[in-house]
Structure 1
């Protein structure tokens, strides 16, 4: 949002993603490498599911912006 660029959310913003800090993701990979089994499947998640619309709202609030700074985009 630097320079007052609009935040773009795709479609209607209802898509939900699991958000995870990069350091936590790296720690999960290190654990799988150190303690995992060859051929094992490991799912690394943060349990912080948020819709794109909710995330947009958080970004706008954190930066003191209103929904006029949000721009819906198309599907990618």
Structure 2
């Protein structure tokens, strides 16, 4: 079974509202890449879950450290 995607890059970006966010690049075992954005509050929770003090230290962690919230589905 594959280990899944890992975090390969983290950059600071701005949301449409001008608030700070992190742009996180994921690298998949097959070489594919994807990018997700998380807001500052979620970034703090992700760093705490990963046990790191800075966003840069997330590089190399599995993508699963990003799972800090229950998704809210509309239905």
TM-score tier, shorter chain, comes to under 0.3
Higher RCO by CA contacts (8 Å cutoff, separation 6 or greater): 1
Structure 1 or 2: larger strand share?
Answer: 2
Structure with bigger gyration radius? 1
When normalised by structure 1's length, the TM-score is 0.27
